[in-house]
Structure 1
Amino acid sequence: MRQQNPVRQRAVVTGATSGIGEAIVRRLAEGGATVVMVGRSEERLDQARQRVHAAVPHADLTTERADLSLLSDVRALAKRLDEQEPPTIVISNAAVIAPVAEVTSEGLQRILVTNHLAPYLLLRSLVATVGERPARFVVVGASPSVLTRAPVDLDDLSCTTGRGLGPIPSFRPFVSYGRTKNMNAMFVYALAERLAGTRITVNGVHPGIIKGTRLGLDAQRGTLRLMTLAVRPFSGSLEAGADTPVWLATSPEVEDVSGRFFVKRAQVATAPHTTDPARLDRLWEESAHLTGLPTGL
């Protein structure tokens, strides 16, 4: 009997124009997937696409420009993706470290929108696009052990009060960033629970401390900048950072695994404040309100 050709994977990767995101695109393209690269600059998208094509001549790539700090851009992106072939892989990788007080033209904190509300809105929107087909959603987070001491303040998602951000002003953007990374884990658990019984899996991943990402380095000052520069010589490669996200998105080993968090391909626990059901529901509802989505999936 003639074997059927395997379904060609179609992946959407945010934050695809540099760093880990570009490495993820390259790895997926090497494996034969069609990859939609999402970035906020047409110029950087074109440059990244050229670099990937230079490394993987057969790469099947398309680009979508969207500023993920703007919910209007995220909605427009979701609409465009809905009009295309449904993705089988979605990797939410885009993230930023910015001044805590920096707000967008929509009046929302840039860190909060880019790192949490954008993936919340995009992945929730793509659930309907995927429908009853199989798909894997992967959310790139941060170190569970480091973030244990940065619980989300559910009464102050945008950190406008400054409560709990610490006494060193230059370090506060990192604490705010850390809270959004805890939101990523909480979102993974909440979405996976709501998608139980479907063919969509949702998992989180810490890619490691990786050099070459430029994650908000230009906006960092004082203690935070010195710390970032100090650890970079000991950081891992971009390829190492891409390994576990790509493995989660493609490996048969985790085909039916959902609602878990991984580091170096191993499942790990995250802090109790990221798994408490009441806190998960509260964050879900607050995020729905901020993005204009219904609380029901």
Structure 2
Amino acid sequence: MTQQDNSGKVMVVTGASSGIGKATVEALAQTGATVVMVCRHEGRAQDALQEITAKVPQAKLNVYLADLSELDAVRALAQELKDAYPAIDVLINNAGIIPGLLSNSKEGLELAWVTNHLAPFLLTNLLMNSLLAAPQGRIINLTSEAHRLGQIDFGQLGNPKHYSAITAYSDSKLANILFTYELAKRVEFTNLTVNCVHPGVVATNFGKSSSRFVRALLFMGRFFMRSSQKGAETPVFLATSPEVEKISGKYFKDKKQIKSAMGTYNAHTARRLWELSEEQTGF
């Protein structure tokens, strides 16, 4: 397949300093796009920048630093990006964590919920005008097949007595899909599409801050994991392929649409989650 020429397009990737994010940036840079790397740590960001430019000398990369576990940092990042890029063609919400012991954000909310769901919810909404200003904007939310283990209990959400790392992660991934489907309805009659993707189980340092139990599961499963480059293939496909330019509100795996869990199609749950997310982010 002929590689798309994306010269002149601006594509934003969060969690861009390692793993799937870094592999995604490299692949997008090869298409000629200006790629905005949103990273948490300056040192890791510079290492990734140097590594990618060594492989793709013509790469057009810009780095922005933001800790997406802090909603104020998300707001500041969004303002910087809006000021720099009146039109954004692609937003890939890739950043995420697998939690360990219970930890709360500065806002007093569970950390995985903030990082994995509220941060992309807020960033996407704050960048909406820039995304709509692009000729054909695309939003890609990374989620996981772990969403099938999730069950958002609005009455108990964030209750420390019911916390487990696996539940927190699964619930946040379920929220990613519900958010995607609800947003797709809200932008249906615009030039914007929004889809979500399970990149596969990727052998990265993604779970290094997780509990010992989760780290053990990840370690035992490494032989069945795919590379970061393989994990980046579907996000890059959704960001660049003309095959999907009119497709919105879908769940992808290995470049194909698949059905997500039955509960993700509950419109009432999706609307209720949207309202809660607005309340928690102050959007």
| TM-score (normalizing by structure 2) | 0.94
For the residue of structure 2 that corresponds to 1:247, the secondary structure is helix
CA shift at 1:275, angstroms? 1.3
- 1:290 maps to a residue whose letter is Q
Alpha-carbon distance change, 48 to 159 in structure 1, aligned in 2, over 3 angstroms: farther
**How far apart, CA to CA, are the structure 1 residues paired with 2:159 and 2:205?**
23
Check if 1:215 corresponds to 2:206. yes
2:143 matched to which residue of 1? 141
Check if 1:51 corresponds to 2:43. no
**How far apart, CA to CA, are the structure 1 residues paired with 2:92 and 2:159?**
26
2:267 matched to which residue of 1? 277
Superposed CA offset, 1:263-292 (max 9, x none) = 001101111211101000000000000000
- 1:263 maps to a residue whose letter is K
**How far apart, CA to CA, are the structure 2 residues paired with 1:69 and 1:197?**
32
CA shift at 1:54, angstroms? 1.0
Check whether the contact 2:182–2:271 (CA below 8 A) recurs between aligned residues. yes
2:95 matched to which residue of 1? 94
1:128 matched to which residue of 2? 129
For the residue of structure 1 that corresponds to 2:38, the secondary structure is strand
Superposed CA offset, 1:226-275 (max 9, x none) = 21101011111111100000000100000010000000011011112111
Check if 1:42 corresponds to 2:38. no
Number of matched pairs: 277
**How far apart, CA to CA, are the structure 2 residues paired with 1:268 and 1:38?**
29
- 1:189 maps to a residue whose letter is Y
Check if 1:287 corresponds to 2:277. yes
Alpha-carbon distance change, 29 to 277 in structure 1, aligned in 2, over 3 angstroms: same
For the residue of structure 1 that corresponds to 2:106, the secondary structure is coil
**How far apart, CA to CA, are the structure 2 residues paired with 1:62 and 1:111?**
26
Alpha-carbon distance change, 276 to 44 in structure 1, aligned in 2, over 3 angstroms: same
**How far apart, CA to CA, are the structure 2 residues paired with 1:121 and 1:142?**
20
Superposed CA offset, 1:131-163 (max 9, x none) = 3432100000001xx43232222223324340x
For the residue of structure 2 that corresponds to 1:198, the secondary structure is coil
- 2:138 maps to a residue whose letter is R
Q: How does 1:6-155 map to 2 (within 5 A)?
A: 8-85=8-85, 86-133=87-134, 134-143=136-145, 146-155=146-155
Deviates more, 1:149-158 or 1:254-263: 149-158
Structure 1 stretches of 4+ with a deviation exceeding 6 A read none
1:168 matched to which residue of 2? none
**How far apart, CA to CA, are the structure 1 residues paired with 2:157 and 2:183?**
19
Structure 2: runs of 5 or more not aligned = none
2:176 matched to which residue of 1? 184
Superposed CA offset, 1:22-63 (max 9, x none) = 000000001111000001111111111011111111110000
**How far apart, CA to CA, are the structure 1 residues paired with 2:249 and 2:84?**
27
Check whether the contact 1:100–1:159 (CA below 8 A) recurs between aligned residues. no
Structure 1: runs of 5 or more not aligned = 166-171
**How far apart, CA to CA, are the structure 2 residues paired with 1:24 and 1:225?**
24
Check if 1:200 corresponds to 2:171. no
CA shift at 1:216, angstroms? 2.4
CA shift at 1:130, angstroms? 2.6
For the residue of structure 2 that corresponds to 1:131, the secondary structure is helix
Check whether the contact 1:53–1:59 (CA below 8 A) recurs between aligned residues. yes
Check whether the contact 1:151–1:274 (CA below 8 A) recurs between aligned residues. no
Deviates more, 1:276-285 or 1:226-235: 226-235
**How far apart, CA to CA, are the structure 2 residues paired with 1:117 and 1:156?**
17
1:230 matched to which residue of 2? 220
CA shift at 1:190, angstroms? 0.5
